[in-house]
Amino acid sequence: MTLHLLTLSCVLGLCLCSIGAADAEPVAGDRDQALIRAAEGNDVALVRQFVAEGADLRARDGRGRTALMAATYQNHVETAGLLIQAGADVNAQDRVQNSPLLLAGASGYLDILKLALAASPDFTVYNRFGGTALIPACERGHVEVVRELLKTTIDVNHVNRLGWTALLEAILLSDGGTTHQEIIRLLLAGGANPNLADHDGVTPLRHARQKGYRVIADLLLAAGAHE
């Protein structure tokens, strides 16, 4: 009988321990990962709760993403704003070298870009091609993003590892249409060097002429370009 009571007591004790564990507060690492998942899912209330509870904004998931990076991939503006206001790093890069600023620029996420710019980002943090946020924004035709970036101290003549500037990418990787014509105008007005050639010594004007982009060629000529 004594043995039976002892066994029953042990079983009850284990049950109580299990209940207590289920009700316990999540450990810091669990909360940090839960914050990243909540940010990716745009659960603003839960993100706010985890931030208030002291979740680590620098924590990363298996892809190297912080909570802010996860929110940026999904263009979750309110969540990104909350995290930036709480002190999240707009320069923190994931495993493919995207940062919130770089990704927002390349993806045309204007609202998140503005939030990142307000946080005084480091423009010398480069993407996997060695480029700034401006270069892919020009290539992909994100006119308003380009306009915002040119209001900053970003280097309009930065050369990436491919040997291309923002101006060159706006010519080489575009259809030469009205969107990229406007981007060329913005870049030239923002101080882009119309004669800065690629690694092979080919100038923006020569590229424009080879591709048959007459309007862009005329814009370059008006800015003092030569072959």
96-129 confidence digits (pLDDT tens): 999 999 999 999 999 999 999 999 999 999 999 9
Domain boundaries, the chain: 26-121, 123-227
DSSP 108-140: T-HHHHHHHHHT---TT---TTS--SHHHHHHT
| pLDDT for position 4 | 47
- Percentage with pLDDT > 70 across the chain: 88
| pLDDT for position 29 | 81
- Could you please state the CATH topology (level 3) that the domain comprising 26-121 is classified under: 1.25.40
pLDDT at 13 over 90: no
DSSP code of residue 15: H
Rounded Cα gap, residues 157 and 87, in angstroms: 30
Q: From the CA atom positions of the chain, what is the Rg in Å? A: 25
pLDDT at 9 over 80: no
Contact call for residues 219 and 188 (beta carbons, < 8 A): yes
Whether domain 123-227 has CATH 1.25.40.20: yes
Q: How far is CA 134 from CA 81, 155, 169, in A?
A: 21, 9, 10
Task: Give the pLDDT mean for 165-188.
Answer: 98
3-state DSSP call for residue 76? coil
**79-96 pLDDT tens trace:** 999 999 999 999 999 999
**129-154 pLDDT tens trace:** 999 999 999 999 999 999 999 999 99
Q: Do domains 26-121 and 123-227 have the same CATH topology?
A: yes
